[in-house]
Amino acid sequence: MPLYEFRCPEGTSFEASFTMSQAPRELACPSCGQEARRRISAPKLSLAGSSEFKLIDATKRSAHEPEVVSNRLPGSGRSSATGYTYNPLHQKLPRP
């Protein structure tokens, strides 16, 4: 069901869910009881599937199920990185 946004004369905004055919134009405000008018707001459908939405999803997911790291961290495998050139001239270069 779509979410509709209402705003009362005192400025309180709240949301309520209705079917599209049953959405009222006015609804009683939960804080002051006055009639709150339905506002026209942008639907939040375009966010689904976008990279922004995926980033928000991944960030929330990483809070309780972090990704498993199977590779070594960069910089921890120095010994394996030593012999990747066989040019004898490279042996004279200074080591970091």
Residues near Zn ion (CB under 5 A) are: 8, 10, 12, 29, 31-32
**Shorter beta-carbon distance to Zn ion: residue 12 or 38:** 12
Task: Provide the minimum distance between the beta carbon of 32 and Zn ion in the complex, in angstroms, as a whole number.
Answer: 3
Q: Scanning the structure block, which residue is given the tokens 């966010």?
A: 47
**Shorter beta-carbon distance to Zn ion: residue 2 or 30:** 30
Which residues, in sequence order, are CB contacts of 13 under 8 Å at separation 6+? 5, 6, 7, 39
Task: Provide the minimum distance between the beta carbon of 8 and Zn ion in the complex, in angstroms, as a whole number.
Answer: 3
Task: Provide the minimum distance between the beta carbon of 20 and Zn ion in the complex, in angstroms, as a whole number.
Answer: 25
User: Is residue 38 within 8 Å of 18, Cβ to Cβ?
Assistant: no
The C-alpha atoms of residue 31 and residue 6 are separated, in whole angstroms, by: 12
